Amino acid sequence: MIVDAHLDIAWNAISAGRGFLAPPAPGFVVSRPALVAAGIGLVFATLYTAPAHARRSMRTRFVYEDAHEAYLMATAEVNYYRSCGLELIGDRAQLSGYARGWRKGRLAAVLLMEGADPIETPAQLGAWVDRGVRIIGPAWGRTRYTGGTGAPGGLTELGRQLLRAMRRKHLILDLSHMADQAVADAFALWRGPIMASHSNARAIVPGDRQLTDESVAEIARRGGVVGISFYQRHLRTSGRATLQDV
Query: Which residues make beta-bridge pairs with 40?
Result: 2
Quick check: 166 pLDDT over 90? yes
The reported pTM is: 0.96
Cα 159 from Cα 137, distance rounded (Å): 11
What confidence tens digit (pLDDT) does each residue in 45-83 have?
999 999 998 888 888 999 999 999 999 999 999 999 999
Residues 175, 183 contacting (CB under 8 angstroms)? yes
* CATH 3.20.20.140 fits domain 2-172: yes
List alpha helices for the chain, DSSP H.
9-16, 32-37, 67-83, 92-101, 125-131, 157-168, 180-189, 213-221, 232-235
DSSP states of 183-241 as a string?
A: HHHHHHH--S-EEETT--BTTTS-STTSBPHHHHHHHHHTT-EEPPP--HHHH-SSS--
3-state secondary structure of 44: strand
- The domain locations on the chain are 2-172
Quick check: 243 pLDDT over 90? no
**CA distances to 92, 96, 107 from 89, in Å:** 8, 10, 11
Q: How confident is the model at residue 149 (pLDDT cuts 50, 70, 90)?
A: very high
